[in-house]
Structure 1
Amino acid sequence: MNPFKIFISKKWVQHLAFWVLSFYFIGSYFSISGFLKFIDFIYSGFFHIPLVLLVYINIRYLIPKFLQKENYFPFILLSIFNIGLAYFIHELLFEIIIPTIPEEFVGVFYIVSFTDIQVLIAIFGSYVVITTLLKLSKSWYELQQLEKERLSLELNSLKMQINPHFLFNSLNSMYSLARKKSEKAPDAILRLSNLMRYMIYEVSEEVPLSKEIDAIQDYLDLQKLRLEEDANITFAVEGETEHQMIAPLLFFPIIENSFKHGLKGDKGTNFVSIMIKNTHTELTFHVTNNKGTTDHSEEGKYGGIGLANVKKRLHLIYGDLAHMEVKDANDSFDVLIKIKWND
């Protein structure tokens, strides 16, 4: 991380910057001359005593205890009381305490506040609003960072969740091809290598759609090695895929789900159909597979955690721009995802 970003991310630096700007603003606002004099800094220093109390009561107590818990009425009521307390301390300082300070400590300066109550209330109220907005914006930013970290953890988890059965079956199929000295063996090994490299090393926050499609094709070709020849596996791609970026491994749980739970019908009825269509406005991903009578033993489990994870990732990454439909029929399972591109 950039050292400067690390430095400015420290709380004490942010608070110091805020109070330096505040000190300068108050001194300039109440300055009699066109430029700041020493007396202006003295006045600003006394003026900030109630301001500091006002601000930290707001950000340390009122916002976390009431506003962030959506207790709006107590927050407003206590904020008004907080402003009143700041006004009382201001008056106590400038009307009672400061006039009693011996002249040898004050020097030649005569410190007094002629500020109207309306102006003081406006200033104190502004500080409540400004610090509330700063606190909420920082909380929002931290929440976004947490969501981003969660997405990163989920992606790393997906990298490690390559189905062991898929790898075991693929290696067994390759072993069988090698024993038969089949010409398909080198290509199968290459496809598994490409798929593993992509899943473990090449994925980031976003990848070109074309790379995701290549990985899906490698996955399908490896699955075909262990399936009967009559299984109908189709994969169609429409539209431009080179320049469009997409969240990686987004569709793999659904595709894996179609092979794990599908293809269980009678001979000649097994199929998995996958379609990806990209336009300048949206991406469509559509998977359909047959189920078969053996799925009754898994009733209520079809789709499972894989679909829930996909829904969660879609919401976190694309929000309202993504839509997912699931149709669970007696003999087929259908998943449709549409992602609108943000212009």
Structure 2
Amino acid sequence: MNFLKKYIFPALYGLLVYFTVRLLHDTDINQRFWERRFYINAVEMTCSAIVGYLSIYIFRRLFKYYDKRWPLQLSYWGVVRELVILVGASLVLVNVIFVPMDMALHRGDWKAWWIPWADVADINMIPTLYAIIYYGIARSSTWLKAYVNNKVQLEKLANDHLETELKFLKAQYHPHFLFNAINTIYFQMDEDICGAKNSIEKFSELLRYQLYDQQQQVPVINELEYLQSFIDLQKTRSSDKLKMKVAFDEGLNGQQVYPLLFLPLVENAFKFIGGDYEMAITAQLSGNEIVFRVENSVHPIKQPMNTNGSGIGLDNLKRRLDLLYPNKHNLLIVNNYNNFFGEIKLQYE
């Protein structure tokens, strides 16, 4: 295979150029080149083979130069630049060999220092066409590799950007959680030391889950257990008027979800509950979706968010859902005069 590529193919390339030129030229003047004197054809074919060897050698050297001189990056300008250099080298070569050959073989047909413009066009256009074709075939694997590398780099940059943004969102969320939890324990210590100790234990469990279980998806049962611990912790400082309903579907077990996506709705409910002090937290399976709902009454004056449903915790939740579940989630926020409703639908894996 290497012998064919190195020794046979260049000659065939040169002869292909020669026979294409002869076909176009002889068709135009109604001539059959095989009826000419043998030595003319022999000289032309020999020179064409030499052009083939030199062309392939120069092209391959240029390809090595391209790879060494310029980084592997697919771009329109890069292709044009390489083609201009390659075509220029090809034109110089064919004019150095074919033009003197044509003048010498047809010295008696026209002036020694002049050849017809039709011959000049054939000598330049046909080799240029084949040089471009060869370039396209020979460099296709290189440009495909550059394309794949570019795509990989773009995806890596996008993933790095998303990971950085997720870390930033989590960094915003952690202080918010710590403040609420510590504030809860602080008020409890004045009234119930034993209860405060239990709250600290629950708080440590919650913090451990946040610190060690955020990088990958987790079984939804782990997330629900975490929510239950958070609810128990928050109930210790809630009003005695609180009427709460918590219902988790028993079918929710090993389905994989990203952690800490349900918590902002629960935290928001405890923060802004008022009015009739009613709260309902449910999670259930619906087809291939996990549906998580939080509904709570609010004081008519103390609204949990503005009319657009914004707030730091919920804004972060929206962004995290967009990053982690693109086109695979639905977030519904309804903020009425004395009631707040939030729903997350996730397509689990």
Q: 2:184 maps to what in 1? A: 170
Alignment TM-score, normalising by the size of structure 2: 0.65
User: Is the partner of 1:32 in helix, strand or coil?
Assistant: helix
State the Cα distance separating 1:97 from its structure 2 match.
8.6
Q: 1:146 maps to what in 2? A: 160
1:199 aligns with 2:198: no
What is the identity, as a one-letter code, of the residue corresponding to 2:235?
K
Check 1:154–1:255 CA distance in 2 against 1; reply closer, same or farther (3 A cut).
farther
State the Cα distance separating 1:225 from its structure 2 match.
0.8
Once residues 226 and 236 of structure 1 are traced to their aligned partners in structure 2, the CA distance between those partners, rounded to angstroms, is 21
- Structure 1: segments with no counterpart, 5+ residues: 1-23, 34-40, 64-74, 100-114
| Contact 2:290 2:348 (C-alpha < 8 Å) held by counterparts | yes
Q: 1:293 maps to what in 2? A: 300
Once residues 59 and 88 of structure 1 are traced to their aligned partners in structure 2, the CA distance between those partners, rounded to angstroms, is 20
1:275 aligns with 2:282: yes
**1:1-343 alignment to 2 at 5 Å?**
29-32=5-8, 46-51=58-63, 63=75, 75=76, 78=77, 81-82=80-81, 84-91=83-90, 94-95=93-94, 117-125=128-136, 127=139, 129-131=143-145, 133-147=147-161, 149-150=163-164, 153-154=167-168, 156-157=170-171, 160-179=174-193, 184=195, 187-260=198-271, 262-265=272-275, 269-279=276-286, 281-295=288-302, 299=306, 303-342=310-349
What are the superposed Cα offsets for residues 135-170 of structure 1, whole Å, 9 maximum, x if unpaired?
431233322431453265247526633434422332
What are the superposed Cα offsets for residues 209-241 of structure 1, whole Å, 9 maximum, x if unpaired?
111111111111111111112212222111433
State the Cα distance separating 1:318 from its structure 2 match.
1.4
Check 1:92–1:329 CA distance in 2 against 1; reply closer, same or farther (3 A cut).
same
Check 1:254–1:122 CA distance in 2 against 1; reply closer, same or farther (3 A cut).
farther
State the Cα distance separating 1:91 from its structure 2 match.
0.7
What are the superposed Cα offsets for residues 24-83 of structure 1, whole Å, 9 maximum, x if unpaired?
99x9745428xxxxxxx99876323433566776955x73xxxxxxxxxxx4xx577436
Once residues 80 and 132 of structure 2 are traced to their aligned partners in structure 1, the CA distance between those partners, rounded to angstroms, is 11
Check 1:92–1:134 CA distance in 2 against 1; reply closer, same or farther (3 A cut).
farther
What is the identity, as a one-letter code, of the residue corresponding to 2:87?
F
User: Is the partner of 2:325 in helix, strand or coil?
Assistant: helix
Once residues 287 and 324 of structure 1 are traced to their aligned partners in structure 2, the CA distance between those partners, rounded to angstroms, is 12
Q: Which has the larger radius of gyration?
A: 2
What is the identity, as a one-letter code, of the residue corresponding to 1:243?
G
Check 1:203–1:308 CA distance in 2 against 1; reply closer, same or farther (3 A cut).
same
What are the superposed Cα offsets for residues 158-191 of structure 1, whole Å, 9 maximum, x if unpaired?
6633434422332134414534xx6x55543332
